[in-house]
Amino acid sequence: MNFLTLSDIDKDSLWEILRRAKSLKELRTQGISRLDVLSGKIIALIFEKPSTRTRLSFETAILELNGNSIFMGPGEVGLGKREAICDVARTVSRYVHGVVVRTFAHKNLVEFADNATVPVINALTDEFHPCQALADVFTIWERFESLDRVRVCFIGDGNNVLNSLLLASSIFGFKLDVVTPKTQRPAREVLDKASDLSLRYNGRVVFEVLDNFDSLGTYDVVYTDVWVSMGQEAQAELKLKDFKGYQLNSSMLERLGNPVVMHCLPAHRGQEITDEVIDGPRSVVFDQAENRMHVQKALLEYIWRR
Ligand code: CP
Ligand code: NVA
């Protein structure tokens, strides 16, 4: 099985992964981190963009599950450039037992997965970041001990991280109010997919996308992400103009009722978030980063147990 977006795994199984991640986190604090889940398995990491958290959390998770990983970084594989995506996927499937891929267009990841004969996990595309969102859901659950009563506000860019949070909100039922500039709203297809999931799992649409701050209320959580994502450096000047007024600073935090602060990291301090807020008492950004590892361990176990 593949994990390309959150909806590749049904809600009950996602909950099973979250509960297992909780146990794995507890076991690790008791010094039990080695588990015989991936013995004899080799997982390749093919990353076409830089990474700190995703690479390290996956490599640590794989090692602690007694598997081995092989990392191939930006400039090495050249998906669709050095070689056709289908040829890479078929070749890699002859060597390893699974592949974790970080790339640009999500359709390239889908093409890779369609041609691979081993499980493929999305480690971030331009459109989705499901491992991040699943760890974020875990962090919210850990903090509030429930999900369906939690109110989350996302202020920022309508791409990969927000798209996956929209699917997470729709599956798990937490309220998500989103404010983006009109030019940076999530794509129609993503909103349609999230609406379908939300109706299926909650009987109503639990998220709302706004283009101004007027209708915002108070929240349990506020989440933001960079304004210029990896690969968008050429658009930086234009995007920075669009995001004027969207900074998560102390006065914005107060206006939102002093919620818990989340950020997937890396952060561009002084742009989308101030030092005061990211380093402040409401910030859980390093819990989020840590939880990537626990949740991915549970995800790897779920995939390879089947
Ligand atoms: N949050 C996240 O995916 O971080 P990296 O880009 O460092 O992997
Ligand atoms: N939106 C960011 C997320 C990084 C984890 C990016 O794509 O660069």
Domains and CATH numbers, the chain: 6-128+289-304 (3.40.50.1370), 132-283 (3.40.50.1370)
- The two tokens of residue 79 are 């998906």
Active site residue 242: no
Instruction: Specify whether the CB–CB gap between 268 and 228 falls below 8 A.
Output: yes
**pLDDT number for residue 255:** 97
Nearest-atom number in ligand 2 for the CA of 161 is 1
Is 292 catalytic? The answer is yes
- Report which bound ligand comes closest to the CA of 158: 2
Residue 129 falls in the annotated catalytic set? yes
Calpha distance 158→227 (Å, rounded): 9
Residue for token pair 């980063």: 289
Task: State the sign of the Cα–Cα–Cα–Cα dihedral 164, 151, 179, 205.
Answer: positive
Closest residue CA from atom 1 of ligand 2? 229
35 burial class (0-12, 13-18, 19+ CB within 10 angstroms)? middle
Scan for tokens 């994990």, then name that residue. Answer: 3
Has this prediction a pTM greater than 0.75? yes
**Low-confidence stretches of the chain (pLDDT beneath 50):** none
148 by DSSP, 3-state: which?
coil
Q: Which residues pair with 100 in a beta bridge?
A: 45, 121
The CA distances from residue 144 to 50, 62, 131, 150, 222, in Å, are 32, 29, 20, 7, 14
User: Is 52 touching ligand 1 by the criterion CB < 6 Å?
Assistant: yes
Distance CA(173)–CA(159), nearest Å, equals 20
What's the CA gap between 80 and 72, in Å, rounded? Answer: 15
Work out whether strand 260-263 and strand 221-224 pair parallel, antiparallel, or are unpaired: parallel
> Looking at 55, 106, 292, 294, which residue is catalytic?
292
Q: What is the pLDDT of residue 211?
A: 81
What residues contact residue 170 under an 8 Å CB cut-off, 6+ apart?
194, 195, 197, 198, 201, 202, 205, 206, 207
Write out pLDDT tens, residues 229-286. Answer: 999 999 999 999 999 999 999 999 999 999 999 999 999 999 999 999 999 999 999 9
Contacts of 193 (CB under 8 A, 6+ apart): 7, 167
The sign of the dihedral angle between the CA atoms of 183, 129, 220, 275 is negative
Ligand nearest to the CA of 123: 1
Q: 65 near 293, Cβ under 8 Å?
A: no
- CA dist list (Å): 191 to 38, 154, 200: 36, 15, 14
pLDDT at site 232 = 97
Query: To which H or E segment does residue 99 belong?
Result: strand 98-102
- Which residue in the list 151, 225, 263, 288 is annotated as catalytic? 225
Helix (H) or strand (E) holding 236: helix 236-242
pLDDT confidence of residue 144? 98
132 counts as catalytic: yes
Question: Which pLDDT belongs to residue 305?
Answer: 86
Q: Tokens 């202020």, residue?
A: 155
